[in-house]
DNA sequence: GTTCGTGCAAAAAATTTGCACCGGA
DNA sequence: TCCGGTGCAAATTTTTTGCACGAAC
């Protein structure tokens, strides 16, 4: 979304003392090229391997974990047996919703601000300060409803 | 919560043609005894093994999967490397929130109905009929805020 | 008596780790 | 040059599966 996400992330790596290796650059590129997808480690590995066949799966794991720690990526659980990840853009990162169709398995995204009212209430009632959230709605998507 | 959850679930099993084996009964008992917890398969296995040492881990997996399919249990992802489960009581099953403290890791539960307004909006805007949801709020809990 | 479920052990899948070598800063 | 990062392979961890036997209906 922002003018140059890649540069921003590179900067973040540098500032924290991490090296910008070829592998990290290629992995980042691959993720930025697939912003709309919910990639698994294996997905990313396959994409990256085309550009750099000698890369190891462990490097992908390590890089993804690093990017998760840096909050560049969000882990999402789609109940398909593996972890999936997606970019947490600065604007989107706080309001993150997934609509998961229980018929066809499709995953859409949705944003909304209504949750903010709920978070306020949680802070007041429970004394719990909400910093981020992960919301999944399960249901029937528009297409499957037609059938 | 309800008068006799165990009986209800037994009934559900029978109706769908599943046998009520000793193993299933013990696993159910163990889960009902730990309603407030978020048990992993391994947790359940350990608890059940005390009552029935000859039980196999695979049986626990198969039973938990069955109970998830029957919507007796909900899978939850607490990012600790294994799947966790909890009872989805009829009343609670639709409004399910977790407050996860990013400092101490504690998991609280919260319910609220505010999400219903949001779900209505999703159906209107996106044509997506929400059937269930899974909501996790990450933040700082009351105790950790004091420190 | 059938049929479904179980235990066991093996297999598969997902993730992590140890270590010698390599390549960014 | 130096130190963190990588590739590789092995180890762990989590989950699934095949099959003969046992138990519920």
**CA/C1' separation A105–D16 (Å):** 21
Confidence of residue A76 (pLDDT cuts 50, 70, 90): confident
d(CA B101, CA A123): 13
The whole-number pLDDT of residue A105 equals 67
d(CA B85, CA A118): 24
Which residues of chain A lie closer than 8 angstroms to B127, CB-CB? Answer: 141-142, 145
The whole-number pLDDT of residue B22 equals 96
Subunit contact B127:A145, Cβ cutoff 8 A = yes
- Helix (H) / strand (E) containing A101: strand A97-101
Q: Check the CA dihedral B25-B26-B27-B32 and report its sign.
A: positive
CA A14 from centroid of its chain's CA atoms = 21
What pLDDT tens digit does each residue of chain B (147 aa) get? 445 778 889 889 998 999 999 999 999 999 999 987 889 999 999 999 999 999 999 999 999 999 999 888 988 877 777 899 988 764 455 556 778 776 676 777 776 666 777 788 788 888 888 877 778 787 888 888 877
Interface probe with B: pick from A117, A133, A144, most Cβ of B within 10 Å? A133
The whole-number pLDDT of residue A94 equals 56
Candidates B131, B77, B91; CA nearest to A138 is B131
The whole-number pLDDT of residue B118 equals 74
Subunit contact B128:A118, Cβ cutoff 8 A = no
The whole-number pLDDT of residue B1 equals 46
Instruction: At A2, list the tokens.
Output: 């922002």
pTM for the model stands at 0.77
**For residue A75, pLDDT beyond 90:** no
Cβ neighbour number for residue A142 with a 10 Å cutoff: 15
Among A16-20, A54-58, A85-89, A129-133, top mean pLDDT goes to: A54-58
Q: What is the DSSP letter of A55?
A: -
Which is more confident, A39 or A36? A39
The whole-number pLDDT of residue B143 equals 81
Among A39-43, A96-100, A130-134, top mean pLDDT goes to: A39-43
Q: Are A35 and A87 in contact (CB under 8 A)?
A: yes
Lowest mean pLDDT among A1-5, A7-11, A16-20, B11-15: A1-5
Among A37-41, A51-55, B136-140, top mean pLDDT goes to: A51-55
The whole-number pLDDT of residue B32 equals 93
Cα angle vertex A75, ends A72, A81, to 5°? 150
Instruction: At A101, list the tokens.
Output: 């169709």
**Mean pLDDT across A70-99:** 77
Nucleotide C4's nearest residue (CA vs C1') is B19
Cα angle vertex B77, ends B74, B82, to 5°? 105
The whole-number pLDDT of residue B36 equals 79
d(CA B44, CA B62): 12
Nucleotides of C under 7 A from a protein CB: 4-10, 13-18, 23-25
Which residues of chain B lie closer than 8 angstroms to A71, CB-CB? Answer: none
**Mean pLDDT across A12-36:** 92
Candidates B66, B124, B117; CA nearest to B133 is B117
| A140 CB inside 7 Å of strand D | no
Subunit contact A137:B145, Cβ cutoff 8 A = no
Q: Rg (Cα) of chain B, in Å, rounded? A: 17
Instruction: At B109, list the tokens.
Output: 């539960």
The whole-number pLDDT of residue B39 equals 93
DSSP of B72-107: SEEEE--SSSS-EEEE--TTTTTS-EEEEETTT--E
């Amino acid at each position: 979304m922002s003018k140059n996400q890649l540069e921003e992330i590179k900067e973040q790596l540098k500032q924290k003392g991490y090296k910008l290796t070829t592998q990290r650059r290629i992995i980042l590129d691959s993720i930025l090229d697939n912003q709309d997808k919910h990639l698994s480690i294996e997905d990313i590995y396959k994409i990256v391997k085309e550009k750099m066949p000698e890369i190891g799966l462990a490097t992908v794991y390590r890089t993804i974990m690093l990017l998760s720690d840096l909050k560049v990526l969000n882990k999402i659980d789609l109940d398909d047996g593996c972890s999936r990840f997606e970019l947490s853009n600065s604007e989107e990162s706080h309001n993150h919703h997934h609509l998961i169709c229980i018929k066809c398995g499709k995953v859409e995204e949705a944003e909304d601000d209504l949750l903010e009212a709920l978070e306020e209430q949680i802070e007041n009632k429970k004394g719990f300060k909400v910093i981020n959230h992960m919301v999944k709605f399960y249901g029937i998507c528009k297409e499957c409803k037609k059938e």
